Structure 1
């Protein structure tokens, strides 16, 4: 491995200024006859954008590799991708959380770009644009962000998972001005990594899923791409500076076949059954409570059912109302909430969100303004797309509270009999 922190001395005359590369974190690794020039970038830095352009202008490369997965690459190449979002499909396929998380990150990015005058990820866009302009293949070497988040969530316990997920949505409740210390952290690594940086450093399994595994995955992707088709002589690799050392080490020393390594690192951990068991237990207790109540007297049974329906239904409807739901969405939440704990495939949030998307179908302007609207808390309620997502979450939250409160009310009623 060659350290080129002061790269640029051998650049030929007539090319862009050498200053663009001075002090930039660059490592060079040779593996299987291919020279990889790895540029560690800051995702909110104009200097990193300049360094990418300088390297491509001043050196000959056969390919460009970027720290992007295919979905993020397509989103970057297609600014209108959000306009093609099928809300009904997102809700039915259970991808509301992933879409909301991506929107929260997008809002955070937009605030950064407004504050710094540089779009986060601009160096990746520069690498893509410059590579395409030079007719170079652009390799997308990062692991799909959805897989990374799922593996990270599986690496920690329930409460730690809740804390981790809250990090994604913290940006919704803070002031629009991004704190200086947050900006400095973002200069050290990518947005996903920086969002969880403090949390990940204290938990080795989370660090492994978010950072170390991606280092290994990207190194394997480079080796696999280089072995496909015409073998390149030189590849420019543009990654966040936080991955520089780890990727270089993996690229030098990894011995496992790259295709097998990537496949293994893309495997989703087996699902746990605790959620199913909780649903079964709650359903059994509720139905058992109904049966016991009616066995004592019709009046008691009716009273127990009424308390359950009103408590869960009202709180589910309140959650939908807080999300700014349509009256029919609120009614749907009220009707579905008492049934949610009794049927694992039924979600009150899914019902209310589907009705909301149907009654207040987002228009072109909602999709066009979505990136701007999610930069503020009020914007999430103002935009019809993000409001559907809020409807899903807040209705489910209200129902969950209703289950606990309604269950306790049932127990008190039965014991008082």
Structure 2
């Protein structure tokens, strides 16, 4: 979205203009219209599950960097990328170097859209079928359509494939246990501290509150959150870190939302504001996201720092 907005600012291109034109024309001509791409939420969840945990930080950092980048995009670069050979080589390189990311982000969607097109052809028997897609999906969809035409699967088989591609991968049991194990270790540390002396026990509790709450509050300050939000970050983080079902970011994001309610103009300007890093702090909608992110990060770091400090004092 931010990258598209930078293109719009530079070249006067409205993001998604071709899709909007197709929708408008279809409605004017009373032509049946269908969205064939997979839901973005499902795609992002499948990407998250497919990418190893140690690579997720790098990908997220790259997304943030691209969102706030001020780099100018040259018109010649865009024209060169639109050429078939250049586009094909770029996607081939992407597929080779980032297989875990390419699969759910590109290849699965190509297969999903090909299934949708095949299904429409078999069910509705349209005389003509116009499909509006991104250029990067053309080759993949074409390949899957040829495969479908050659094999002629039943609609039941195609529906089964669509359902398979729409599933959200189940979270590993190990990742469900780890947060509770960390909480158990922290609480055990408190218990050991108080069993030795009340003074040591309260010292461990103090360290936990100051470190965890302090780093969460620092996150709120980095996001230039409302003072009440910053205070709530300090108070909530030490408690939410002992309950894996709720995070400090959820609490502080909610408080920020109440203290600085987004206006209609914030939603209208969201795409434009997030094209530049200053806009993220200016727009009330994106600021809530920043508060959520920085407070969550601060509390997470605080949990490990305070946890190691507690263990160090006990042993």
Give the direction of change, closer, same or farther, for the CA distance of 1:173–1:370 in structure 2 (3 Å limit): closer
1:201 Cα deviation after fit: 3.3
**Structure 1 position 279 matched with structure 2 position 173:** no
1:412 Cα deviation after fit: 2.4
Matches within 5 A, 1:180-191: 183=78, 187=82
Which residue number in structure 1 is paired with residue 288 of structure 2?
A: 388
1:250 Cα deviation after fit: 1.3
Which residue number in structure 2 is paired with residue 253 of structure 1?
A: 147
Give the direction of change, closer, same or farther, for the CA distance of 1:123–1:157 in structure 2 (3 Å limit): same
**Structure 1 position 163 matched with structure 2 position 63:** no
Which residue number in structure 2 is paired with residue 139 of structure 1?
A: 34
Q: 2:10 aligned to 108, 115, 118, which one? A: 115
Which residue number in structure 2 is paired with residue 129 of structure 1?
A: 24
Give the direction of change, closer, same or farther, for the CA distance of 1:180–1:399 in structure 2 (3 Å limit): farther
Which residue number in structure 2 is paired with residue 37 of structure 1?
A: none
Query: RMSD of the TM alignment (CA)?
Result: 2.4
Secondary structure at the aligned position of 1:137 is classed as coil
Instruction: Compute the TM-score of the two structures, normalised by the length of structure 1.
Output: 0.68
Deviations 1:203-244 (A, max 9, x none): 334322122211111111012223334x21111222222222
**Structure 1 position 331 matched with structure 2 position 226:** no
1:182 Cα deviation after fit: 7.1
Which residue number in structure 2 is paired with residue 350 of structure 1?
A: 250
Uncovered stretches (5+) of structure 1, i.e. residues with no partner: 1-105, 190-194
Which residue number in structure 1 is paired with residue 132 of structure 2?
A: 238
Contact 1:319/1:398 (CA < 8 Å) preserved in 2? yes
Secondary structure at the aligned position of 2:129 is classed as strand
1:151 Cα deviation after fit: 1.2
Give the direction of change, closer, same or farther, for the CA distance of 1:196–1:335 in structure 2 (3 Å limit): farther
Which residue number in structure 2 is paired with residue 367 of structure 1?
A: 267
Instruction: Compute the TM-score of the two structures, normalised by the length of structure 2.
Output: 0.89
1:359 Cα deviation after fit: 1.1
Which residue number in structure 2 is paired with residue 307 of structure 1?
A: 207
- Within 2, Cα distance between the matches of 1:113 and 1:142? 23
Q: 1:203 aligned to 98, 103, 113, which one? A: 98
- Within 2, Cα distance between the matches of 1:260 and 1:404? 44
Secondary structure at the aligned position of 2:54 is classed as helix
- Within 1, Cα distance between the matches of 2:91 and 2:228? 38
Q: 1:154 aligned to 46, 49, 58, which one? A: 49
Report which of the two has the higher share of strand. 1
- Within 2, Cα distance between the matches of 1:188 and 1:346? 48
Which residue number in structure 2 is paired with residue 79 of structure 1?
A: none
Give the direction of change, closer, same or farther, for the CA distance of 1:413–1:196 in structure 2 (3 Å limit): farther
- Within 2, Cα distance between the matches of 1:186 and 1:400? 41
Secondary structure at the aligned position of 1:253 is classed as helix
Secondary structure at the aligned position of 2:130 is classed as strand
Deviations 1:116-165 (A, max 9, x none): 22223322222222222222112211111111121122122101222233
Secondary structure at the aligned position of 1:139 is classed as coil
Contact 2:253/2:291 (CA < 8 Å) preserved in 1? yes
- Within 2, Cα distance between the matches of 1:162 and 1:180? 31
Which residue number in structure 2 is paired with residue 215 of structure 1?
A: 110
Contact 2:4/2:15 (CA < 8 Å) preserved in 1? yes
Which residue number in structure 2 is paired with residue 99 of structure 1?
A: none
Which residue number in structure 2 is paired with residue 408 of structure 1?
A: 308
Q: How many equivalent pairs are there?
A: 305
- Within 2, Cα distance between the matches of 1:185 and 1:152? 28
Secondary structure at the aligned position of 2:296 is classed as helix
Deviations 1:357-379 (A, max 9, x none): 01111122222222221111111
Which residue number in structure 2 is paired with residue 298 of structure 1?
A: 198
